[in-house]
Amino acid sequence: MTDRIETTCCIAGGGPAGVMLGNLLARAGVAVLVLEKHADFLRDFRGDTIHPSTLGVMAELGLLEELLRLPHQPAHELAAVIDGARFAIADFSALPVRCPFIAFMPQWDFLDFLARDAARHPGFHLRMQAEVTGLLTEAGRVVGVQARTPAGPLEVRADLVVGVDGRGSIVRQAARLPVRRLGAPMDVLWFRLPREASDPQESMGVFGAGEILVLIDRGGHWQCGYVIPKGGFEALRARGLPDFHARLARLAPFLAARAAAVTAWEAVKLLTVAVDRLRAWSRPGLLCIGDAAHAMSPIGGVGINLAIQDAVAAANLLAAPLRERRLRVSDLRRVQRRRAWPTWATQRLQVLAQGRIIARVLGGRQAPRPPLPVRLLARLPWLRRVPARLIGLGLRPEHVDPGLRGTTPVV
């Protein structure tokens, strides 16, 4: 038998944007149900960066001090190693914000934290192992979702469905929203390597001849991203693990003795990079935000930043119409108008970097020379504030409406 539920807002996807939006709407007194297809949030190699803008949102909600008591690694600067030489790229310490750093924190810890806080509000409900499989429509309007659960089929009827189910969004496919695909020249292989006390004390990107390695300091280990040409994983696998180990040792000699810790390809997670955006983020009864509306390149790690900013903007604009049951299509379009420009501009910069830096490095046979912008950043430290602002705050930082900032449960 099909289980049937009614709510005001149904959020498809329990990632950072989905749980943040659910938290904010519940604070405003909106009945909200978040559906997450997995049994828990415990998954490796998701975006684990909490940017200064997000830390600012947590401060506005009165949650910052408690959040920062969770294990995390603060990064006040990002650097690149090009042909053996280190170059500082972004200096977050100069940002005029309360937390001038990126916090590297396991995403499952962040999501558990947000969900626990949201659960204090009686309107918030989170259902795990509920995978959205389709939309319910009536007279051209989305009126809910169909989902699959261990107990059987589930139907949720809602005034608004919000798709936040990632770059492979089922919601946007079911809604047949038109997508503009911008392309990407690379994919990324994520894996772990042990970290020792004598290792460099910072996260960095390492650029070699035809190769790029991203190293993120996670305290007890390195989270590593090996950047490969688009569709190149099978060719790399065919050359075998010893060849892969040798590549890692060449890029980061201090890891040479530990590269063999990758003992099977099953320990390597392939991220198929896509950069795209919806032409229209909504239709009657439906809104997409985050990766479901605009898949971002991993350059700068800004995808989570933009997704959470989308969630804050959506909550600010939609909480009152949802609570008062007067939601209109024009309200949904306001969210896209608010967030479309920062999305477009950020993707424009990412595509530029993909073409002029990433593609050239991956296609080269010689060790790359530092490009002019990198050399300027090395000579003029004050310039590092520019990439720090783009990465850490984004082009239109959002702030939580004061009416949504209460720290006591809504009754």
| Sequence spans of domains, the chain | 3-75+104-181+274-362, 186-229+232-271
pLDDT value at position 112? 96
Give the C-alpha separation, 9 to 95, whole Å. Answer: 36
Q: Which residues contact 373 (CB under 8 A, 6 or more apart)?
A: none
pLDDT value at position 45? 62
pLDDT tens string for the chain (411 positions)? Answer: 789 999 999 999 999 999 999 999 999 999 999 999 999 887 766 778 899 999 999 999 999 999 999 999 999 999 999 988 999 999 999 899 999 999 999 899 999 999 999 999 999 999 999 999 999 999 999 999 999 999 999 999 999 999 999 989 999 999 999 999 999 999 999 999 999 999 988 889 999 989 999 999 888 899 999 999 999 999 999 999 999 999 999 999 999 999 999 999 999 999 999 999 999 999 999 999 999 999 999 998 899 999 999 999 999 999 999 999 999 999 999 999 999 999 999 999 999 999 989 999 999 888 888 888 899 998 999 999 999 999 999 999 999 999 888 644 433
Closest by Cα among 138, 160, 118 to 325: 160
CB distance 212 to 206 below 8 Å: yes
pLDDT value at position 41? 87
Is the alpha carbon torsion for 261, 302, 201, 85 positive or negative?
A: positive
CATH code of the domain occupying 3-75+104-181+274-362: 3.50.50.60
Backbone angles phi, psi at 146, to 5 degrees: -105, 140
Strand order in the sheet with 221-229: 85-91, 77-82, 204-208, 211-217, 221-229, 186-194, 269-271
pLDDT value at position 408? 42
pLDDT value at position 410? 37
Q: Quickly count: other Cβ atoms within 10 Å of residue 403's Cβ.
A: 12
